[in-house]
Structures are given as structure tokens and as C-alpha cells.
Structure 1
């Protein structure tokens, strides 16, 4: 009588070696999937945060923002407006007192959102062209909005190339103080 384990020891060793090889392959695949999941998880988190945060990818409804949130989003918008005015040379279209005009805040906020959308991650290559068209259509509206300010709306009337930083800072401080 032969021992049933004699012949199968070599076969068993071969099966175990194959299983170890399979386990190594599965571990590599699992590591790759964990890495990919981590990247995707970060992307999803960013998109969810952007959707929840007005001004960064999510729509801005200025009428629903409270003092602190309004101040935060308005401060972010101020950065966009400053860059827009300087970069596009819109000193003649956007008055330094832009933040004092609800309609201008809405218009400039919409431009900000459009640009954020056009240049967001994973966007189509033609969206920057769309952004330029949106901006070109908005400039005449901005000029109309600020026409009265050309005649001395702001006191003292700063030059069109200056932003009323002190006035804006005071306004932001008032909004933050209201929020408590």
C-alpha cells in the first residue's frame, strides 16, 4: 500500500506556490485599487465641498447668505474682481465701489462662477472660449451699471483704477460684526 501523501506532496507544493503567486497578484491589484480609490475619494470630496461652498463651484444666492458667510464669499469675490479688472483692463467698466451695488455683485458673482466652471477640472477644451463670450456680453452691462459712479458716486471719488480697499474692509468688518 502506498502512502497517499507521497505523490501529492509535490502536487501540493505546486498548488501552494500557484496560490502564493495568485495572492501576490491580488495584493498588487488591491494596492492599485486602494491608490485609485484614494485619488477618486479626494476628487469626490473636493467636488462635494465645492458644491456646498458658495463661490467655489457652487451657485451663489446672495440673498441667502448670512453676515459671516456673505463676508467670506464677498472677500473671495473681491479677489476675483481685482484680478479680472487688472487682467482684462476693465478699469472703465468696473467702478471701485462695485461691492456697494447689489446688481454689480450679482453680475460679477455670475462671471466668477462662469469662469470657475469653464476652468474646472475635467472640463471640455472649448469652455474657456465660452467664458470669453460670457465676459464679452457682460462688459456692456457692467458699464451701464457703473455709469452713475463715473459722476461721483463714491466719496471721496477714487480714480477708476483704484479699489476702495478701506471702504471694502470696513464693510466686511461690519458684516462680520453682525454675525457675532
Structure 2
């Protein structure tokens, strides 16, 4: 038989669950189309965080892959972040990498191979095919493309600061 005290505890637990569910529904319904990676819908703070995340990813990508290739066409120039198409493509590649290397995926799967075959190399091919960097007036020379792996520097952070919305916006 259930006591009044037990019923009270059950009611309190149910209210907690209902509150958490309402918060979850609000959080999901407030997400913009494109998720937290759609640059044009992000407020200033989220853009800063995404730039930092993307910079870390590109630094890793250039150190782990691109600087170890003999094929120069797959390397990124130091000013990659000044090219909107490259930023969008590399953001998508980063998100795909996060999905493939998801810590919650404890079971073996082809996700890692898929990331390489369906994301990494096609993205690099697309950047090359579209000649995203060919019209760049940043003055890169061939030797700059063979430099050590890219790292975020003062020039990168200045660019990010200048590219942010003028006034802080609320996250949309």
C-alpha cells in the first residue's frame, strides 16, 4: 500500500521530470535551422566560440593530414579563414568529424572510414575543384602553402574580431 508520503515523493519526482521535459522541448524548438553551425544565424558570442572551434579543427587537420601530404593542392593557405566558401566547407567537415568520432558511439562502425571517404577527401577535392583560393589577393606564394601546420595567430584573431556583428546579439 502506498503512503501519503510516498505519493508526495512521487508527485515531486513527476513535477521534476515534467519541468526537465519542458526545458528540453524549449531548447530543441529554439534551435535555429542549421543548428549551432549556421554562421548567419549565430549571435556574437556563439560566432566567437565557433571560430575558435574551427581554428582548433583546422590546426589539427593541417598537422595530422595536410602538412604530411606531398600533393600541394590539398593544403590550405594561411588565410583560409578569409574565404567564405572555405569557412563553410571546413565547418561542415568539422561537424562531420564530430559526428564520426562521437564519444557516445561505443560500438564498432564504418563511421570513421565514412568520414575519410565521404567527407574529408571530397571536401578537399571540392575546395580544389572550385579554386576557392585561386583569386586570393592575400599574396600567398607556393612556399607559404608548404609551411608548417597552420596555427591561429594575431592576424586570424584580428580578422575574427572584424567579422563579428557590430553589436552583441542574443542567440537566435
TM-score normalised per structure 1: 0.58
Q: Distance in 2 between matches of 1:61 and 1:94?
A: 22
Q: Distance in 2 between matches of 1:116 and 1:99?
A: 20
Deviations 1:93-137 (A, max 9, x none): 312111111110110000000000001133352100111111111
Equivalenced residue count is: 139
Q: Distance in 1 between matches of 2:167 and 2:45?
A: 5
Query: In structure 2, which of residues 142, 159, 163 is the aligned counterpart of residue 171 of structure 1?
Result: 159
Radius of gyration: which is bigger?
1
Aligned to 1:148: 134
Matches within 5 A, 1:1-150: 58-89=35-66, 92=72, 93-123=75-105, 125-133=109-117, 134-144=119-129, 145-148=131-134
Q: CA RMSD in A?
A: 3.9
Is there any run of 5+ residues in structure 1 with no aligned partner, and where? 1-40
Q: CA deviation at 1:155?
A: 4.4
Is there any run of 5+ residues in structure 2 with no aligned partner, and where? 1-19
Higher relative contact order (CA 8 A, sep 6+): 2
Distance 1:94 1:85, change over 3 A: same
Greater fraction of residues in helix = 1
Deviations 1:25-67 (A, max 9, x none): xxxxxxxxxxxxxxxx9xxx9xx89xx69xxxx5511121233
Instruction: Point out 4+ residue stretches in structure 1 off by more than 3 angstroms.
Output: 144-147, 155-158
Residues 60-69 or 95-104, more deviating: 60-69
- Contact persistence 1:97–1:163 (CA under 8 A): no
